[in-house]
Amino acid sequence: MIVFLCAGCGARLTGPLSQVELPVHAHQKYGNGIQLPVLMEPGTFAVEPEPWGHPWRRWDEVDPDEAAARGIYAPVHAVSDGPSATVVLAPGDARGTVLVPERAGGYCCGLAWGDGPNLACEACGHPVGNRIDDCSLDPDAVRRLPVDDAEAEPPILTWTELLTKGPTTPPSAPKTRWGSSLAVDARWSWSPQWEAAVGRALAHLLAASDGRPVTVPQGLAAEVFQRALDALLPAVPPARRALLAGPGLPTRDADADIVIVPTHPQTGELWNPSGQAAGAYPVPLPFGVWRCMAFPERHLGFPMSGTMPDGVLRDDPPTPRPYERFHADPGTFQDTLVRLPAVRSPWLREILDNLTHHQQARLF
């Protein structure tokens, strides 16, 4: 467990926290006025490894070799020269901080990141972080203090344990606008977490395709991937085959070209296939999304009555499905693709350059 202290005076700025994987939707921009859950679960923190925040430089001010050295292989709107290893946590886990009034600007739905830290240490006034209605801490303004709290420290789950104890992220979720009653003004739509996760995975699928068609398994995988893959890739055989792989799934199809695998929700580790599939291109999905895709909810064909038969856990209605088609998050797709060396290929760069057109065509 880690407690973060002010680098200026040593005051405690958080309670004990455990580190988890940075959510794939950490930089997602979503909607206007939509109520969404906080980014981080209480009692956890994550680290953004790349520089983030002010100051920013426009792409034409950045040398391409410098950008490539930082892992950016195609143009972006701006490059951050801010600190790397920014710490992200839930607002309720912050302690002993106060808002800096002149930097506490925001929008109609909450505080936003202005031109610098908008949180300061209550004890000494040292700027320590930002509240963006999630909180982030400046890595140069805080220091970590390991604490011995064996009871509070969650154990690192094995892949097998994750199948029963790990997170689940349903593909659809009710969305409600601020000021509306959930019971009155809720609509079921595709989960924003799924839109971001599929945006990242789609960039990897395109990079792994080598400009050939890609097929994915039937079911949820086909529903969220196949339409965009068919539209963005040429119909020139032979097609490359992508399969779901991970804990609890059979390994009989070990000859796949591409495997869609989970990342560990605590460590961020990518599940590694064994045998022949070890040479396949791994496409990452957050564990909660992968779990629902690999083991979808069983829909009962009719209401159950009387004694529940073996294997049936409940007879309530299945989660409502969205009416609209699925669209991957374009921002997450773009952020991922510009950081893959394969984007230097002319055909893949063309997809990136035409992203606005693909959005207008409702592929994203």
Q: What is the pLDDT of residues 333-355, one digit of tens each?
A: 999 999 999 999 999 999 999 99
Q: What is the pLDDT of residues 174-184, one digit of tens each?
A: 776 665 555 44
**pLDDT score recorded for residue 122:** 93
Q: What DSSP designation does 17 have?
A: B
Q: Left (φ > 0), alpha (ψ -120 to 50) or beta: where does 183 sit? A: alpha
More confident residue, 188 or 155: 155
Q: Are 337 and 206 in contact (CB under 8 A)?
A: yes
b/e map 10-34, b = 16+ CB within 10 Å: ebebbbbbbbbbbbbbbbbeeeeee
Rounded to an integer, what distance in angstroms lies between the CA atom of residue 308 and that of residue 247? 28
Q: Flag whether pLDDT at 225 surpasses 90.
A: yes
Strand ranges for 122-239 from DSSP E: 127-131, 135-137, 142-146, 172-175, 187-190, 214-215
Closest CA relative to residue 204, chosen from 299, 30, 343: 343
Contacts of 307 (CB under 8 A, 6+ apart): none
Strand ranges for 217-331 from DSSP E: 240-244, 258-263, 281-286
Q: Flag whether pLDDT at 284 surpasses 90.
A: yes
At residue 325, the 3 state secondary structure works out as: coil
Give the β-pairing of 119-121 and 127-131: antiparallel
More confident residue, 253 or 239: 239
Q: What is the pLDDT of residues 131-175, one digit of tens each?
A: 876 667 777 777 788 877 656 677 889 999 999 998 999 998 877
**Three-state SS annotation for 33-75:** CECCCCCCCCCEEEEECCCCCCCEEEHHHCCHHHHHHCCCCCC
> Residue range 52-80: average pLDDT?
91
Rounded to an integer, what distance in angstroms lies between the CA atom of residue 52 and that of residue 65? 19
Q: What is the pLDDT of residues 92-145, one digit of tens each?
A: 899 999 988 777 666 555 666 566 688 899 999 998 888 876 667 777 777 788
Rounded to an integer, what distance in angstroms lies between the CA atom of residue 338 and that of residue 340? 6
